[in-house]
Structures are given as C-alpha cells and as structure tokens.
Amino acid sequence: MAGSSRYNLNGYGFASRPFLPDVGTYFYSPVAIEASGVRASGRLVNASAIQARFPWVLLASYNSNGYLGVVADEDRARFALSNRSIIPDEVILPLYNDAGARLSYSLEPQFPADTIDALQNIAWNWSSGEMSAVVVGPDGSRVDLGTAAFVAKSGNGPTTKKASLTAWQPHMYGRYTVTATGWIDDAFGRRYRGGGTYRFWIAKRMTLATATFQGQPYPVGSTYGATRSSIRRFRPTSR
C-alpha cells in the first residue's frame, strides 16, 4: 500500500502489461546466456551448437480482411498470429488502389512477437544482418530481388532501405510465393536466422454475408436464413 493506493509488485493491472518506460519489477536474463546439459533422453545438448531462430512475418502492415501478415511455411507448426479476426484466412491484397494506381508492398520482415511486452523483447542490433528474397509469380516467373544488409529499425522489424524490397510491386493477379531468408544479431552478438517460404494472393476481394450472422443461436426447430445479401469470395482475375 502507498497511502490509499494498492500497487502490484509485478507491475500488472487488469488486462494490461507494464511497458517501458512504465514501472515493472520483473526482469529476464539475456538469451545469449547459453546453458548446455543432458536431455531427459540422456542425449547431451551443446548450447553453442544450437542455431537460434526467430519468426519473421511478411506483409504485416497491410490489412487483409482484418488479418495482418503472412507466416512462413517453416514456422506454422510452432508459431501463429492472433489478429483477433473471426476467421483467419489467407492474405489477399489488391493490385490497384481505389484511384487505379498500382500498389507496392514491403517484403521486409516484421517481428510481431515484439509488440506484446517490451521487457521481454530481445535487444536487437538493428544495424546487423541481411536478407535475401526471391519472388515467384502466378505465371511461374521468377524474380531474384538479391541480398541486402539491414541498416536500421522500421516499425517492429529491420529494414534494408532498398527499394526493391521496401516497394515491391506485383505484376499480375494470382498467388505469389516469396522465399525470404536471412539473419540478425542481438546486442550480445548472438545470431538469429529467420524467414522461409511465404504464400499470399494478389486479388480482388469480394464479400459474402448471409441473412444469418455468425454465432447466431438457434432454438430447436428454427431454420438457417438462406437469403444472401452479398458475396464474400476472392478471385485472381484481370482488372
């Protein structure tokens, strides 16, 4: 107690977490502290031989029906996004804006895990590391965007400030596959690899809504409303 106020020593309040520079009394050791040992199976683990990996998310700054970001195929078994969407689906982004101008997108990674709690974040060296990217279009075309070094922080991830990566333009409608890989160091010199294979659509999104809302409770004997007010699909068609 402090006067008439009650404070939690962990710095927590209802439905909130303390963020820097707010108060907080919990601390985490740097990930760079290695600890070798013996697994339950009896196998010896050499911590210095472990290659650290951190999930990279592409297109995290662009809204796709409330869903933000594409997770690499290689990370999907152990990492997922929680954008509070009712139905997380594939990322579908437009080719043109409302004025008819061709849109461009950044293919540089973002680190959404760093948006949860600043005190738990890894201390990144934003001027370290590099990334490479190759784009395969719906028509099978292959464009190598090359390799570029990270030079600074942008949003919640590193940036190369290279236009081919920060302002990539899709050339047609359809499903794209981007292979983006690289690495970045933390402040203690430990290297983290990230990236993989990312798949998304460039398409015209259409919407579908029935007369019955999602989550509608049904009393015994009631029927589902079959009236359709609009269509919710997407199609990779010509403009």
What's the pLDDT score for residue 18? 53
Encode 100-134: b = buried (16+ Cβ within 10 Å), e = exposed: eeeeebbbbbbbbbbeeeeeebbebbbebbebebe
User: Residue 5's pLDDT band (boundaries 50, 70, 90)?
Assistant: confident
Check pLDDT > 90 for residue 17.
no
- Mean pLDDT for 41-52 is 87
CA–CA dist 99, 168 (Å, integer)? 19
The overall average pLDDT reported for the chain is: 83
Instruction: Domain ranges for the chain, please list them.
Output: 52-205
Could you please report the per-residue DSSP string of the chain? -BTTB---TT--BTTB---TTS--------TT----EE-TTS-EE-GGG--EE---EEEEEEEETTEEEEE-GGGTTT-------SS----EE-SB-TTSPBP-B--S-B-GGGGS-GGGS--B-TTS-EEEEEEE-TTS-EEEEEEEE--EEETTEEE---HHHHSB---SSEEEEEEEEEEEEBTTS-EEEEEEEEEEEE-EE---EESS-TT----TT------EEE---EE----
- Mean pLDDT for 158-179 is 96
Q: Check residues 222 and 228 and name the one with the higher pLDDT.
A: 222
Check pLDDT > 90 for residue 85.
no
CA–CA dist 83, 89 (Å, integer)? 11
Percent above pLDDT 90 for the chain: 49
Check pLDDT > 60 for residue 230.
no
Residues 136-155: tens digit of each pLDDT: 999 999 999 999 999 999 99
Residue 223 to residues 76, 210, 213: CA-CA distances in angstroms?
37, 13, 13
Pick from 106, 231, 78, 96: nearest CA to 178: 106
- Mean pLDDT for 115-126 is 83
